[in-house]
Structure 1
Amino acid sequence: MLEPDIACSRIQIRQPVKRDIPAWIAPVAAILVLQTAASFLSRLIPIVSPSLIQDFGWNNGWVGYLAAINTAGSLFFLMVGTGFIHRIGNIRSVQWGVLMGTISMALFFSPIVALAAVASFIIGAGYGVSSPAGSEILQRYSPPSIRNLVFSIKQAGVPLGGVIAGLTIPLLAESAGWRVALLAAALLAFGMVALTWRLGRDVDTPARSAQSWLGALSLHNILTPIRALREGHDTRRLAAVGGLLSATQSCWFTFTVAYLVDRLDFTLSMAGLVFAIMQAAGVAGRIVFGWLADRIGSARVALSLTSVGSAATTALLALSTQAWPLWVLSLLAAGAGATAAGWNGVQIAEMARRAPPDKVSEAAAGSTLHVYLANTVAPAVFAAYVSATGQYEEAFMAAAVCSLGALALLARIRPH
């Protein structure tokens, strides 16, 4: 029989194994939350604008004007704001962008339309922070083996913010009024910033040399994002790819519902269902193509697949008729969401990888400028053509050609 002390010595006590959370999880999660918050605020404008117009007696055209001013705010920041990012840090700059946009929502409570325009511009500027600041953080922290996936998850926050806004704000506005809906939206945005606030202090790098606000508005600084594209490895072509794919994507997002209602005799609710399917597939598509790019080790191949899918689904939409059943159009919309809207994360990740290490945010800003300009110009040209000819089909075919143009450019981008 064993002595008690010998028996006890043979008993092995298992200590709980502590699994350290990878260092990249927290900053990536924070950027996803903030990207979703910034997108959520921007999507509020087209949702609440009709209520503002009805209550304050504004011209109906202000729905489009406020959306355009919102985009202008984003473009303004992308041209002059990278110095601001370096001055206060990447995560902190996105947080302040969301906070300023949230605070500016108070201007919507005034019947003065110019104040609503100011609020739209500030919200747009806050949204513009997220791409260059987020790209630098993700490039620094994401593991190379899953970098495309990480960037794609971050970009999934864009449609996710739209889904949250679309599901919550109209219901609140109908049940409690648009003012209560805006207050609830402000609380949600503040909460998302508060959730990530401490991380800004822990993750952000020391500020570079401070730039004066007058210097930020100089022509030399405004051209910095464009110069950064020249310094990378085929980053100018990659930025043009983003612009061309964005042109097709913006036409789907802007005109699908109108086409289904005007040409295919869908009810507005059924057209909205198809649109929602496309948005949901966009979230999944971004993540899937990010995973695929990492799996095969080639962002160019993944982007080429999205270009082919984007061109094919857009051409099929142009060929659709009233005889096509709902389930076919729903599948087509899902395919378009996954491909025509599935390229963003992979393109931004590849841009960050090819940019000079000290110019990641500047190159991301230059690339996003191409995307935003395409988002502005393509729908305007599409609308002008439809207004002049009444032909949606030919306009969608032209949008499909933009995706084929992206495919041709990708073939000319050298491996790196």
Structure 2
Amino acid sequence: MKEPAATPGWVSALLAMIVVQMATAFLTRVTPTIAPAVAAELQWSDAVIGYLSSIATVGSITFLVMGAPLMRRFGSIRALQLGLGLGIFGLCFLLPPLLPVAMAGAFLIGLGYGPSSPAGSDVLHRIAPPRHHALIFSLKQAGVPAGGIIAGLALPPIVAAYGWRASLLFSALLVVAVILVVQPMRSQIDAGRERQQSLAPGAFLSLSNVLEPLRALRGSASVMRIAAVGACLAIGQGIWFAYLITFAVSELGYDLRAAGLAFALMQATGVLGRVLLGWVADRMRATIRLLALVCLASGLTSLALMLATPTWPSWLFYALAAVAGITVSSWNGVQIAEIARRSPAGRIREAASGATVVVFLGYVAGPLSFALLVATTGRFDLGFLLCAAAGLLGFLLLATRRGS
């Protein structure tokens, strides 16, 4: 009789989650990073990147509400690998000079990103030491800005030297390498997968499966509130990630490499910020208070960007991008850890999926609203004002709640 695979150490599991999270996030950063070059060649407006970002998030939401059978059948690592494969396929859809095809590609990339939160939450909540949950979840989420660093630093030079299509080939090869690197860990991490889980269309499309993540949220009012705060923060983060490079090129006069450097700098400080906020949350034992402060800081940072003009010295713009890495994009790990801590017993993966659906609605609404504002008014500052208002709303949601 075959012996069951040993349970992996939490450090190995964490490393696997970080690497795969980095790759899934990298795929979502490819389009915003190369958008100015693509738009210039294909004569697309600056609003297009907002539409593509929102469509990608719709793809992620689609997986979150329907993908539970796949995760149960194959396990977390395999689900993430399949997601990466979908992302590579989505990149291919960016090659034809047709916006509807590019939109389909964005949907596939987002669909592939979908497993990252519930799969990572399930693995780390089972294996990681409870006293370090916020830090460990933040370390895992640090893979997101790490993927952004790679996109911001590597893709613009490739675009400048060989064209934006070559950057898609580089991206695909990088993701294939990650799929192969984590494969040896699959047998351990996915040992508990449900091999008898049906993958028939009915298993994905059934009303029970689609509603399961939201039912898990209904088990705790506090989980729903924290998810709503995450949606507010996601509005600002989604806009910054989708539009920082385009704003720098179109409004501030930077070339693609200089704009990509600002994006990479924001991602780099985001790595440090996520680890820092996770460490602080574990020691404060007052995560709600910390998230409230982050909401205020996110709003103020967006107000500062609203005031940016071409007359700003470059060091000031880069400094603001660095600050945003902490204030706008470092909340995710703390928020996800708190969701896992407050979720109903035995339903971590389902509650994480439901909470992520709510958060991702912010990622849809933010870039889409920004795109509509740019298309109708030609102004970027109104969109950054929207970021600030969303941060204030998140603060008010937490300020009206007592306790930590």
* TM-score interval, smaller chain: 0.7 to 0.9
> Which segment drifts farther, 96-105 or 268-277?
268-277
> Which segment drifts farther, 236-245 or 36-45?
36-45
Partner of 1:140: 126
Partner of 2:338: 350
> Which segment drifts farther, 105-114 or 35-44?
105-114
- Of the two, which has the highest radius of gyration? 1
The SS at the match of 2:347 is: helix
Q: Distance in 2 between matches of 1:294 and 1:254?
A: 31
Q: Distance in 2 between matches of 1:327 and 1:371?
A: 32
Structure 1 residue 281 and structure 2 residue 257: aligned?
A: no
TM-aligned CA deviation for residue 168 of structure 1? 2.3
The SS at the match of 1:40 is: helix
Consecutive unaligned residues of structure 2, counting only runs of 5 or more, are 1-7
1:292-342 CA distance string (max 9 Å, x none): 101222221221221121122223333556665443443333222211111
Q: Distance in 2 between matches of 1:65 and 1:323?
A: 29
Partner of 1:405: 393
TM-aligned CA deviation for residue 30 of structure 1? 0.3
The SS at the match of 2:27 is: helix
Structure 1 residue 33 and structure 2 residue 19: aligned?
A: yes
> Which segment drifts farther, 162-171 or 390-399?
390-399
* TM-score of the aligned structures, taking structure 2 as reference length: 0.85
Q: Say if 1:387 and 1:227 are closer, same or farther in 2 by CA, change over 3 A.
A: same
The number of residue pairs the alignment matches comes to: 394
Partner of 1:313: 301
Structure 1 residue 218 and structure 2 residue 198: aligned?
A: no
TM-aligned CA deviation for residue 207 of structure 1? 1.2
| Cα root mean square deviation, aligned | 3.2
Verify the 8 A CA contact 1:233 1:355 in the aligned structure 2.
Answer: no
Partner of 1:90: 76
Q: Distance in 1 between matches of 2:138 and 2:173?
A: 27
Verify the 8 A CA contact 1:233 1:354 in the aligned structure 2.
Answer: no
Q: Distance in 1 between matches of 2:402 and 2:171?
A: 45
* TM-score of the aligned structures, taking structure 1 as reference length: 0.82
Q: Distance in 2 between matches of 1:355 and 1:171?
A: 44
The SS at the match of 2:125 is: helix
Q: Distance in 2 between matches of 1:266 and 1:410?
A: 39
Structure 1 residue 102 and structure 2 residue 102: aligned?
A: no
Q: Identify the match of residue 191 of structure 1 among 171, 174, 177.
A: 177
Q: Structure 1 vs Structure 2: percent identity of aligned residues?
A: 40
Q: Say if 1:198 and 1:277 are closer, same or farther in 2 by CA, change over 3 A.
A: closer
> Which segment drifts farther, 376-385 or 195-204?
376-385
Q: Distance in 1 between matches of 2:355 and 2:286?
A: 19
Q: Distance in 1 between matches of 2:363 and 2:35?
A: 20
TM-aligned CA deviation for residue 197 of structure 1? 1.0
Verify the 8 A CA contact 1:293 1:301 in the aligned structure 2.
Answer: no
Q: Identify the match of residue 57 of structure 2 among 50, 61, 71.
A: 71
Q: Distance in 1 between matches of 2:383 and 2:401?
A: 28
Partner of 1:10: none
Compare relative contact order (CA 8 Å, sep 6+) and give the higher one, 1 or 2.
2
